[in-house]
Structure 1
Amino acid sequence: MYDVVVAGGGPVGSSAARFCSEKGLKTLLIEEHAGFGRPVQCAGLLSRKAFLECGVSERSVLNEVSGARIVSGLKTDLFFDAKKTMAYVVDRSALDLEMAQNAAKAGADVLLKTSVTGFRDGFVLTTGINGKKSVRCRMVIAADGPRSVFTRFLGMKRAPVFLSGIQAEIFADKPPNIVELHPYASPDFFGWVIPSNDKAARIGLCGERDVYKRFLRFFGRFEGSNIHLVTGTIPIGVMPKTYGNRVLFCGDAGGFAKPTSGGGVYTGIRTAVHASDTALKCCERDNFSDSSLSGYERSWKKDIGRELAFGMTLFKMRKKISDKTVENLCSCMNNPEIIDEIVKYGDMDRPREVIKRMVLKPSVMKAFGGVAKAELCDLLIGSTVLKKRM
């Protein structure tokens, strides 16, 4: 019998399996595909902090990024460069494989090309290369992506929003250290250009609707042949309850992608940390009641809950922001003082601090016009002080 079965062999699942094994828990990692990291469903841009959370070597790193350009789509761009590595562009296949290998080295058993088909009475039901099996376990960590089968098994409510994404890789002559963000490319999210090296770039976008049409329009702005195409789904908004019936939901399975960027590696691995801690406590106490599992939700909320809630408010605001407002914001923020603050306080994984500093500036507030000022003020400072300035 296993203490923990981890469903899903992406970065979050492999991390959870490694953490549980390092804590002495007998752990099984189940992955439905024949290998790790395929198919690729990620833009492959990881903040420096997220990459460190992965606990891997630099073998998967293809490029290093130091700055960004926000392209308004009208006439003004906002450019900043930290002059040091802020993010890595990675080969997700290589990254995922190394993380799974680390889980195995820590003692986790691994089962590939195996799908989870059910969960009842302490057994995870599977079918795959070894036929149909029933795996007995004390609890489960579900890290099986945005369409997690365990949400269906348990009748759990999923994330409130799902974005579709498309990304192509082309040969392109772009500055290798600068990422481009294109808000106009997708009105409810954004498009991006990520240099994978000095000769190629990843061009993509996410949105709630008309994604393929938007992508074709955006892709048409660039010269070059498509040499690699990926698609994916990103859950936005954490599910109402992230535990229940001996199961903890981590990463995309629980809706933990960052609403500000769609990235899920950093937040997902943080949930894996808290899930493994909770699993150890439950196994030591031999108590797997919902009351015992609830400690997981308290832990991740204390760690990343405030950032995720803040990001969700920004995501909702994004739908109210026109191309003209983006233009105004780029224009008013395009001065040395503000750019210095962005470089100093910017954090891809925890953006609340830098955005708070930006919004407190009267020029930035003016650029927002009448867009959701009250909601943003309430979230950032919890008072009416800023409202009186408006």
Structure 2
Amino acid sequence: MNEFDVIVVGAGPSGATAAKCLGEAGVRVLVLEKAEAFPREKPCGGGLSARMLERFPYVKEVLAEVGTNPIRRVYLESPDGTGVVHEQAEPIMYLVRRWEYDAALFRRAQAVAPVEMGVTIRALRVLPEGVELEATDGRVFRAKMVIGCDSANSVIARHSGLRVGDIRSEYAVDMMEETPAAKMQAARPDTVSLFLTLTKTFGYGYIFPKTEHCNLGFGCKLDYYLEELRGKGKEHHAGWVEEMKQKGFVTGETQRDGYKAFPIPISGPLAKTYTDRVLLAGDAGGFVNAFTAEGIFYAMTSGALAAEAAIAAVKANDYSEAQLKGYERTWRAEIGGDLEHSVDIQRRLFNDSGRIDQIVRAASRDEGLLKLLIGYSMGAVRYEELRNYMAASAVPKWVMSKVASMLRFGNKGVATSKA
């Protein structure tokens, strides 16, 4: 029945990383991708945290192949308009176009694994002897197990029973455009600008200057989008661009035809990311930082760890839930703390804009706090570093008590986080 050991559904960063690891290990792997070809369209801010290069050294080669803007300067603005700037000698993040970056990752996966393009999966069946994946064109693909890397709207997650319930409170919507610099320019091409404006629309804005494009967008919770912005996304986005122009952050004109809106899971990893013959990675498994919306690092990390779990399953000839449980242990050990804390911080901050104002104002007076706060927002600093600094900070106690309330956790772990 099984020509392949593993089928990877989706060839984005998580799927391409998993396929590369599996192919290099000699596993019989097949990649199924719904796009007809790479490069393919992919709306995304395209921010890579500097730690990506430590976790995946070959990404240095990838960055040499694509247009990359190393960012050393970050502007952060709180809801009350307080702005702070942090600069450093080494890049804090790298900005890329996802069209180019994903294509470079895909080339590496394609070099070691067969790929079927233009395949959209509509059904998954887990059988005693393997898995069957049915495509919309009627074709059926079989293997011993599957790794679902098929985006936030994952069919694999739904059909395996690993994602259930209403997504309204679990997702955000990112509304953005990525426009050629000839049409729109960032006033500071060396600066990432972040605007925490949740007092207006319970969301955040950003400007990411690429080498030849300007990426500008606005994100908000899905429930708010459905209640207030559905059908009005383009108009809201155009208004946001106009506000940025008036404030002097960008010049040029919005390109309405380039407007895109897409979902982002912001409630942390699913309660379970494995079951018999199935693993989930990337957005399909909820591997996105709920505070920063960073997803690429977590996608690639979960993809690599899912591949390692699949390799172990192939060697043991055991694809049971008990065997695949090791995947969850490994991702929790490496990135679980980051993701759990991000959920808790997001829920606390996005329910009280005053907390963000207090933190940013405190950071404007404390360079050490500012560096850690920006570093955490960019994925370059772990939560523990920020928390420990806050605990020993010389920030006045009345400010400290307000800020620390956002970072305080009980003896048994995260106070309010639920995966």
- TM superposition shift of 1:35: 1.9
Determine if the alignment matches structure 1 residue 366 to structure 2 residue 380. Answer: no
- TM superposition shift of 1:302: 0.7
Contact kept, 8 Å, 1:45 with 1:90, in 2: the verdict is yes
Please list every run of 5 or more consecutive structure 1 residues that lacks an aligned counterpart in the other structure.
384-390
> Which of 120, 123, 133 is residue 125 of structure 1 equivalent to?
133
1:343-385, Cα deviation, whole Å (9 max, x unpaired): 9965615530342145323637634765781x632269969xx
Aligned length: 377
1:269-297, Cα deviation, whole Å (9 max, x unpaired): 11112111111111111111110010000
Partner of 2:325: 294
> Which of 296, 303, 325 is residue 265 of structure 1 equivalent to?
296
Contact kept, 8 Å, 1:12 with 1:251, in 2: the verdict is yes
Query: What is the percentage of aligned positions where both structures have the same residue?
Result: 23
How large is the Cα RMSD of the aligned pairs? 2.8
Paired AA for residue 183 in structure 1 = L
Partner of 1:4: 6
- Describe the shift of the 1:318–1:380 C-alpha distance in structure 2 as closer, same or farther (beyond 3 A): farther
- Describe the shift of the 1:67–1:234 C-alpha distance in structure 2 as closer, same or farther (beyond 3 A): same
> Which of 127, 151, 174 is residue 187 of structure 2 equivalent to?
174
SS in 1 for 2:409: helix
Partner of 2:171: 162
1:45-64, Cα deviation, whole Å (9 max, x unpaired): 11122356373242223312
- TM superposition shift of 1:86: 1.7
Counterpart-to-counterpart distance in 1, 2:384 and 2:99: 33
- Describe the shift of the 1:380–1:67 C-alpha distance in structure 2 as closer, same or farther (beyond 3 A): farther
TM-score by length of 1: 0.87
TM-score by length of 2: 0.82
Paired AA for residue 26 in structure 2 = G
- TM superposition shift of 1:71: 1.4
Determine if the alignment matches structure 1 residue 202 to structure 2 residue 215. Answer: yes
- TM superposition shift of 1:300: 0.4
Contact kept, 8 Å, 1:125 with 1:132, in 2: the verdict is no
SS in 2 for 1:43: coil
- Describe the shift of the 1:371–1:344 C-alpha distance in structure 2 as closer, same or farther (beyond 3 A): closer
Contact kept, 8 Å, 2:86 with 2:371, in 1: the verdict is no
Partner of 1:386: none
Partner of 1:225: 253
Paired AA for residue 124 in structure 2 = F
Partner of 1:83: 89
Give the stretch that moved more between structures: 186-195 or 37-46: 186-195
- Describe the shift of the 1:23–1:365 C-alpha distance in structure 2 as closer, same or farther (beyond 3 A): farther
> Which of 150, 153, 157 is residue 147 of structure 1 equivalent to?
153
Please list every run of 5 or more consecutive structure 2 residues that lacks an aligned counterpart in the other structure.
246-251, 415-419
Give the stretch that moved more between structures: 307-316 or 204-213: 204-213
Partner of 1:387: none
Determine if the alignment matches structure 1 residue 45 to structure 2 residue 59. Answer: no
Paired AA for residue 102 in structure 1 = R
Paired AA for residue 45 in structure 1 = G
Paired AA for residue 164 in structure 1 = V
SS in 2 for 1:135: strand
- Describe the shift of the 1:247–1:278 C-alpha distance in structure 2 as closer, same or farther (beyond 3 A): same
Determine if the alignment matches structure 1 residue 190 to structure 2 residue 204. Answer: yes
Paired AA for residue 254 in structure 2 = N
Paired AA for residue 265 in structure 1 = I
- TM superposition shift of 1:216: 4.3
Determine if the alignment matches structure 1 residue 32 to structure 2 residue 63. Answer: no
1:75-106, Cα deviation, whole Å (9 max, x unpaired): 42111011222211112111111111101112
